[in-house]
Structure 1
Amino acid sequence: MGNIRLGIVGLGKIARDQHLGAIEAADGIELTAVASRNAQLEGVHCFRDIGEMLASGVELDAISLCTPPQGRFAQAKAALEAGKHLMLEKPPGTTLAEVFALEKLAREKGVSLYATWHSRAGAAVEQVRELLAKRTLRSVSVIWKEDVRYWHPGQAWIWEPGGLGVFDPGINALSIVTHIMPDSFHLTSSDLFFPENRAAPIAANLKFETAGGIPVTAEMDWRQTGPQTWDIRIDTEEGPVALTHGGGRVIIDGEKQPEGENHEYRRLYERFVELVQNSGIDTDFSPLVHVADAFMLGRRHAVEAFED
């Protein structure tokens, strides 16, 4: 088949910073159209929304949704019902019920659905996954702290219900841990810290354990300034493993390992091309399950107001 003709819905910061360059670098796919209320892109067909895009007659094979999770279900449903292969920016949706409904619809329509987790494509993630399959775990500790004002300036949606708050970056950590761990794990306690003027948490402390009793902890905070911290520290009987820089680098038994190329989004689009060619489905919703559990078990703590 020729290049996959792709339409992007949502031309905001994440699309411009990550998706456009990744599409250009990936083989087998080309950007044909964009839909955005507030922006246009030279050289491709431009529309105001997905409905206008799908009704335009422009030939598209696939859609990539780069919009905020709130309201995305209707967009995703429209794409699938039109017979388009579909790629979802993380998180795949605002509720578990809606993402499982999308998976069911994709299977009924015989098209691909790809729920992406870009941090799983970090340069060192697969190396750590393969290593942990051969080692005996003792504990796992996640420290995920960043400055929301730097990474999400003026993005009011992220503080609303469904926007996830600190779990917008925190789900990246959970996507890595669910991928590299040899065993599944479940939440045992959750402390969530809500600014008094916001509907989503700015920090979270979580405790999990595996079926075998191995402890997994996660400390997430959006109030960190200066150097940012995206670390997963793993204690094994054979020695320590530290996955740092959001999955981009690894230290094994105290020794820094050679750094690989960190082309997360290009790898996502390469995977999407594979799925489309085979009408495959790749939908691991486990990171979203853990976030949902964090809200279900969450003990709410009020903290000072946040002003952007």
Structure 2
Amino acid sequence: MTELRIAIVGFGKIARDQHVGAIAATPGATLAAVASRNASLPGLPHFESIEDLLEKGPPIDAVSLCTPPQVRRAQAAAALAAGKHVMLEKPPGTGVAELDPLVAMAADMKRTLFATWHSRYASAVEPARAWLAARRIVSVHINWKEDVRVWHPGQAWIWEPGGLGVFDPGINALSILTRILPKPVFVTSAELAFPSNCQAPIAADLTLSDIDGLPVTATFDFRQTGPQSWDIVVESDRGRMTLSRGGRRMAIDDEAVAEAPDEEYRELYRRFVELAATGASDVDLAPLRLVADAFLLGRRNVVEPFVD
């Protein structure tokens, strides 16, 4: 098997914590370089920007974009133009429409564009999807609460336009929701809490539904202290299904039926290698569309300033 030589672009917390180890553990993938203004990895070629990487770097086949979403569109276009396969960290961009030209460009270049949703690869997500497929769903509630100071320390970009605020983790829940439910859902109303000094929300309450009127609610909050919550609870005609720990544990009526360690990013890179072998793309924008609609429909409430 020919190794897929990958460069990571943007070397922050998520790249260090997840991507480096996942690439090392994926057959057919190898980390060949890093491009980042602020960090490097000993023993690997390092470049200040993707432009320098593409012009002066070692031979590579693909880039994994781990930069803030505000700059990913231009970086992806540059990489595709240079004939590279592209993996996009979530969210894939700052808007929905900007992805369409990239999808077309990837097809023209016969290169892979992979818009990743790592939470869909959590171990209990597919068992949950299969369980729900055989049942009548009565209601769904998402409870996604975490401490931004723990998970995004000093990351000012998340509060800027396009940074998504609490929807940066919240979109993980929506990516699971749109995978496990048998029918598409849409936003019907939203309440968004914006700190007075920020351009993105720190908390949000969403109401959603599907074409049949299924009641779906979601609560996202970046101000959680103490225990963190990444739960989706589904009431059905044959019991309650709870996905917890971000999709790694599934319980039926409080009895665990599926649980495994976190290997989401390994599965992402396994999929990336598989896609790149044929130049196929995988770009599902359903979670991003839900966030965009929440901003369109959301009532904006100003709350106390956020100080990191």
Q: TM-score band, normalised by the shorter chain? A: over 0.9
Shift of residue 261, structure 1, vs aligned partner: 3.1
The secondary structure found in structure 2 opposite 1:37 is coil
Tell me, in whole angstroms, the C-alpha distance in 1 between the residues paired with 2:41 and 2:148: 27
- The answer to whether structure 1 residue 104 and structure 2 residue 136 are counterparts is no
Tell me, in whole angstroms, the C-alpha distance in 1 between the residues paired with 2:153 and 2:44: 28
Shift of residue 57, structure 1, vs aligned partner: 5.1
Query: In the alignment, residue 277 of structure 1 is paired with which amino acid?
Result: A
Tell me, in whole angstroms, the C-alpha distance in 2 between the residues paired with 1:168 and 1:305: 19
Gaps of at least 5 residues in structure 1 are none
Shift of residue 260, structure 1, vs aligned partner: 2.0
Deviates more, 1:225-234 or 1:98-107: 98-107
Query: In the alignment, residue 262 of structure 2 is paired with which amino acid?
Result: N
TM-score by length of 2: 0.98
Shift of residue 258, structure 1, vs aligned partner: 4.1
- Determine the structure 2 residue equivalent to 1:32: 32
Tell me, in whole angstroms, the C-alpha distance in 2 between the residues paired with 1:180 and 1:133: 8
Query: In the alignment, residue 50 of structure 1 is paired with which amino acid?
Result: I
Deviates more, 1:55-64 or 1:293-302: 55-64
- The answer to whether structure 1 residue 272 and structure 2 residue 268 are counterparts is no
Equivalences for residues 49-198 of structure 1 within 5 A: 49-56=49-56, 58-198=58-198
Change (3 A) 1:255 1:57: closer
- Determine the structure 2 residue equivalent to 1:46: 46
- Determine the structure 2 residue equivalent to 1:6: 6
Query: In the alignment, residue 106 of structure 1 is paired with which amino acid?
Result: A
Identical pairs, percent: 58
Change (3 A) 1:258 1:294: closer
CA-to-aligned-CA distance 1:90-109 (integer Å, 9 cap, x gap): 00000111112211111111
Tell me, in whole angstroms, the C-alpha distance in 2 between the residues paired with 1:283 and 1:57: 27
- Determine the structure 2 residue equivalent to 1:255: 255
The secondary structure found in structure 1 opposite 2:268 is helix
Shift of residue 2, structure 1, vs aligned partner: 1.1
- Determine the structure 1 residue equivalent to 2:224: 224
Query: In the alignment, residue 265 of structure 2 is paired with which amino acid?
Result: Y
CA-to-aligned-CA distance 1:18-74 (integer Å, 9 cap, x gap): 000000001100001110111111222111110001011521111100000011111
- Determine the structure 1 residue equivalent to 2:285: 285
- Determine the structure 1 residue equivalent to 2:211: 211
Tell me, in whole angstroms, the C-alpha distance in 2 between the residues paired with 1:218 and 1:57: 44
Shift of residue 278, structure 1, vs aligned partner: 1.4
Tell me, in whole angstroms, the C-alpha distance in 1 between the residues paired with 2:100 and 2:13: 27
The secondary structure found in structure 2 opposite 1:140 is strand
Query: In the alignment, residue 175 of structure 2 is paired with which amino acid?
Result: S
The secondary structure found in structure 2 opposite 1:191 is strand
CA-to-aligned-CA distance 1:270-295 (integer Å, 9 cap, x gap): 00000001111100010000000000
Tell me, in whole angstroms, the C-alpha distance in 2 between the residues paired with 1:40 and 1:304: 37
Shift of residue 253, structure 1, vs aligned partner: 3.0
Change (3 A) 1:258 1:284: closer
The secondary structure found in structure 2 opposite 1:143 is strand
Tell me, in whole angstroms, the C-alpha distance in 2 between the residues paired with 1:10 and 1:185: 33
CA-to-aligned-CA distance 1:145-177 (integer Å, 9 cap, x gap): 000111111110000000000000000000000
The secondary structure found in structure 1 opposite 2:188 is strand
Tell me, in whole angstroms, the C-alpha distance in 2 between the residues paired with 1:40 and 1:305: 33
Tell me, in whole angstroms, the C-alpha distance in 1 between the residues paired with 2:24 and 2:58: 20
CA contact (8 A) 2:207 2:216 kept: yes
Please identify runs of 4+ aligned residues in structure 1 that moved more than 2 A: none
CA RMSD between the two structures: 0.9
Aligned residues: 308
